[in-house]
Amino acid sequence: MKENKMATFTIFAYLVVLIYSPSLFFDSLKMTSMYFMEMLEILPAVFIVMGLVEVWVSRDTIIGIFGKGAGLKGRLASVLVGSFSAGPIYAAFPVCYTLLKKGSSVSNIVIILSAWAVVKTPMLIVEAQFMGLSFMFTRYIFTVPAIILIGMITGKVISKEYIVKNSRKEGLLVEKIDQELPGHNCGACGYDSCHDAAEEIAEGEESPDVCVHLEKEEEKKMERLMGKEVLEA
């Protein structure tokens, strides 16, 4: 229950609604089942895209386009990716998580998510049809700079390390890698502690051989561990 607080709270809320308003409970259950079926139709394609990005797109490419040093080019590329996306907003989160693991900056991830939500091309087409081209272009011109600004602010406030620490799967990987490191906290790797080094290894920023005290067999064990985690991702 501690590891799945949101799911536990949702189940509890459904039970309360069932007790006090059974008709509302069955209406909400029907709507939930509709969304669930929609997810079953969309998410397999999303997972395929994630796998292709993971395997075919190199980390250097992702960093060059969406990394911290990409500057204005990265922000505009993020807007385009979000704008030309397809599917509901929840489909964006696993895709963005994959990009984050491959080296994208937090600010560009926020820009992609925001563009996916509010300036998606199919949405703009429908908006122009019902609200007019002037309305659509005006909203677009004001919305895109706001999206970029929100992304820049979020990138300053929320660090990638914070996301890794609060991601259950990434947190478990960091913990497993940390257990394989010697725990000397000697600083020879360039980090203040073995845990800090484990975080960088889990993110793919460093290879296991960054630790000078690791034996070859331990390095291979850690690489197998990371390979397994990638396959399970």
What's the token pair of residue 11?
């189940």
pLDDT over 80 at 116, yes or no: yes
CATH value at residue 168:
1.10.15.40
- The structure tokens 């011109």 sit at 141
The structural domain count of the chain equals: 2
Give 40 or 134, the one with higher predicted confidence: 134
**What confidence tens digit (pLDDT) does each residue in 3-15 have?**
677 888 888 888 9
Of 112, 129, 158, which residue sits at a domain end?
A: 158
Question: Average of pLDDT values for 84-108?
Answer: 85
Q: Where would I find the H helices in 21-88?
A: 22-56, 59-66, 71-83
6, part of any domain:
no
**C-alpha 31: how far from chain center:** 26
Task: Give the separation between CA 172 and CA 178, rounded to whole angstroms.
Answer: 10
Name the residue with higher pLDDT: 167 or 201.
201
Domain boundaries, position 63: 23-158
Q: Do residue 144 and residue 95 come from a single domain?
A: yes
pLDDT of the residue at 164: 66
Dist CA 189 CA 206 (whole Å): 10
In this model, does residue 203 exceed pLDDT 80? no
Domain annotation covers residue 2: no
Please check whether residue 134 lies inside any domain of the structure: yes
Quick check: 96 pLDDT over 70?
yes
pLDDT of residue 168: 55
Whether 137 and 176 map to the same domain: the answer is no
| Final residue in a domain of this structure, among 109, 131, 158 | 158
pLDDT for 50 beyond 90:
no
**Contact criterion met (CB below 8 Å) for 162 and 199:** no
Q: Are residues 220 and 132 in the same domain?
A: no
Whether the pLDDT of residue 71 is over 80: the answer is: yes
Q: Are 189 and 197 in contact (CB under 8 A)?
A: yes
Roughly what angle, to the nearest 10 degrees, separates helices 59-66 and 71-83?
100
Is 8 domain-assigned? no
Q: Rounded mean pLDDT of the chain?
A: 82
If asked whether residues 84 and 138 sit together in one domain, one would say: yes
